[in-house]
Every structure is written in C-alpha cells, then in structure tokens.
C-alpha cells in the first residue's frame, strides 16, 4: 500500500461539517482551539452554527475547511498514518504543505485567513461565476471558451478526464455553458463560488497574497507535495511564495497531479476533509485505485482500521 493524502478546496463546505469529529476527538478539539486563538475567531461556532451565507463567505470558508482537514490529520498522525505523497485542490495545497512540514501550524492558519480575506475583498467589481463542465475533452472546453467574445470566461480547474471547471463573468459563463451543451457536454453545473477564481482577474489578490506569503517561512516539504500549478513536486529551488500566489490566477492541474502520483506508485488515495469530491475525481482517473474519504467519525474510524492494517490482523 502506497498512500497519497489529498485535501479538498473551496466548494466542499457545509454547515455542521466535522461536528461529530469535534465532539469525538480531543485532538480535533485542540486543533480548533489553537486555530481559533490564532485567527481571533471561534472556528467551531462558525463551522457548526453559522448561517450558510456566513460560512460560504470566502474568508470564512477557507478557514473552516482548512481547520477540519488539520484536525483529521492530527488524529491520523496519532496512529502513525503518513502518506508517501500529498496534494490538495487549490486551498487544499496549504494543508498538504503543512502535512509535509513545509509550513508550521501558526503560519498556515494566518496565511489562509489572509488568503480568504484577499480573495473575497479584492475581487473586481462585476458579476462572476464558475461552472463544472462534464463529458467533454479539455481541448473542446478550451476552444469553446475562446469563441465567447462577449466578456471573459476561461478554464480554471482541470479536475479529471471529462470534467473541467470554467470561470469568468456570469453572463459569459452562461453563454459558454449553452455552447458547451451544444458541443455535447453531458452536464453544465454552476458552482457555489463568489469570484473568478484561478483566472487573471484576481491578479490584484495574487499580488497582495505574495506580499503576505513573503512574511512567513515556507520550507521544502519533507515528503513530496505535488503542486497544482504544474503537477510536479516542490523542490528546494522553487520560489514557494511565488508558486502559491500564482495559484490564485492560474488553472488547477488536479487531474495531472493525481496522474503523477499514480505514476509514482500511489495506489491508495485518502481525502481528508469535507465532502467526497476529490475521491470521485480519482475514481474517474482510475476506478481500480483504493479511495478513502474521511469526513466524519465513521469514515475516520474505518480509515484507521484500513490504513493500520488492523482489519487484516483481526481476520
């Protein structure tokens, strides 16, 4: 068994996510406590009790998802469950870097708090949208987006074969969705997001984020962390601050990231955090892989049994 940890990004959130984990594990309660002290906000109350509109604000969403992922990770560490490789989708890459000891707990909380604020506050004026396009080749999505001359729309997330998310002005995204349906898309689903994420329209946010990133120490990971930007591992020579700032304005190469990990022998993918979206992407890349998602007490206990081979010992 060669394990890869994968961490979800914005869009996986839901009110109450992780509450049973918080109640069941002292380690997770401690993560929420420490994160709340650093951030100056009650992250447990925000995640478990807030109205959906409040939790879905980018500045809150990113903090809530990160904290849940780090709490689960702490329990896995208690059982000495560690990955051979790790990666995350956009926001999730910060959790992966923490997992790889490239960034410490205080700094990852601080930088994600700042990242969420910048991505919310420095969105240019206008109506923006993102949509998931299912059932078309990447090149077809790219070509159709280029034909939309009224406004701005581009591919933003390459999630898995047959699924690309597009991002841009709301009217342009709608035009692209209609054209993509005509081109044979099985489904076009508008996403619950609040900005033109992973496009050039967030350059102002990316520039401000880089200044914040330069204030913190980011080391070369002690285990391989695969970048969203180019689906390659971080190296000692990488300008890590520049790479993480560029995330905001460049497409997420998640499909290639998973394909790289598979090529390195990873056969067991563990999604750590809310939802099951990433394991769904992995299954579409290779249905024969073992995929485990951890988002509640039952799934965490099951994962511990599988990943520590306790189940085999009991047979």
pLDDT for 225-234, tens place per residue? 999 999 999 9
Between residues 309 and 27, the one the model is more confident about: 27
> In the chain, at which residue ranges do the beta strands (DSSP E only) sit?
3-7, 85-88, 128-134, 153-160, 163-169, 187-190, 268-272, 290-294
Beta bridge partners of 131: 166, 190
Least confident of 42-46, 86-90, 311-315: 311-315
Angle at 48 between CA 61 and CA 192, to 5 degrees: 35
**Whether 278 contacts 8, CB under 8 Å:** yes
pTM of the predicted model, to two decimals? 0.94
Distance CA 151, CA 170 (A): 9
Average the pLDDT over 288-305 and give the result. 97
Distance CA 280, CA 135 (A): 14
Which one from 69, 86, 198, 250 is the annotated catalytic residue?
Answer: 198
Residue 232 has phi, psi (to 5 degrees) of -125, 155
Residue 311's pLDDT is what?
36
Q: What SS3 state is found at 192?
A: coil
Residue 191's pLDDT is what?
86
For this structure, is 69 an active site residue? Answer: no
Map out the domains of the chain with their CATH numbers. Answer: 3-123+200-314 (3.40.366.10), 128-190 (3.30.70.250)
Average the pLDDT over 275-303 and give the result. 96
Q: What is the pLDDT of residues 132-144, one digit of tens each?
A: 999 999 999 999 9
**Whether 97 contacts 14, CB under 8 Å:** no
For this structure, is 198 an active site residue? Answer: yes
**Which residues are CB-neighbours of 198 under 8 A, at least 6 positions away?**
90, 156, 157, 167, 247, 248, 249, 250, 251, 252
Q: What is the pLDDT of residues 172-214, one digit of tens each?
A: 999 999 999 999 999 999 987 768 999 999 999 999 999 999 9
Distance CA 52, CA 15 (A): 6
């Amino acid at each position: 068994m060669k394990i890869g940890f994968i961490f979800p990004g914005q869009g996986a959130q839901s009110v109450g996510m992780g509450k049973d984990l918080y109640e069941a594990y002292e380690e997770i309660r401690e993560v929420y406590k420490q994160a709340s002290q650093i951030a100056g906000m009650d992250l447990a109350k925000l995640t478990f009790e807030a109205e959906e509109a409040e939790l879905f604000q980018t500045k809150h969403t990113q903090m809530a998802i990160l904290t849940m992922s780090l709490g689960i990770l702490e329990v896995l560490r208690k059982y000495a469950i560690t990955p051979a490789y790790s990666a995350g989708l956009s926001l999730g890459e910060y959790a992966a870097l923490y997992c790889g000891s490239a960034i410490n707990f205080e700094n990852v909380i601080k930088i994600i708090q700042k990242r969420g604020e910048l991505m919310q506050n420095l969105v240019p004026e206008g109506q923006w949208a993102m949509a998931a396009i299912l059932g078309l080749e990447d090149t077809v999505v790219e070509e159709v987006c280029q034909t939309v001359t009224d406004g701005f729309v581009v591919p933003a997330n390459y999630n898995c074969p047959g699924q690309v998310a597009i991002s841009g002005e709301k009217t342009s995204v709608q035009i692209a969705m209609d054209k993509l349906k005509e081109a044979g898309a099985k489904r076009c689903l508008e996403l619950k997001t609040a900005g033109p994420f992973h496009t050039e329209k967030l350059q102002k946010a990316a520039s401000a984020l880089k200044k914040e990133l330069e204030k913190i120490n980011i080391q070369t990971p002690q285990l391989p962390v695969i970048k969203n930007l180019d689906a390659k591992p971080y190296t000692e020579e990488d300008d890590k601050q520049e790479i993480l700032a560029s995330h905001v304005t460049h497409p997420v190469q998640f499909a290639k990231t998973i394909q790289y990990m598979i090529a390195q022998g990873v056969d067991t993918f563990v999604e750590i955090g809310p939802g099951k979206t990433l394991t769904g992407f992995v299954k579409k890349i290779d249905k024969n892989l073992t995929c485990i998602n951890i988002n509640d007490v039952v799934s965490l206990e099951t994962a511990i049994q599988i990943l520590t081979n306790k189940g085999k010992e009991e047979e």
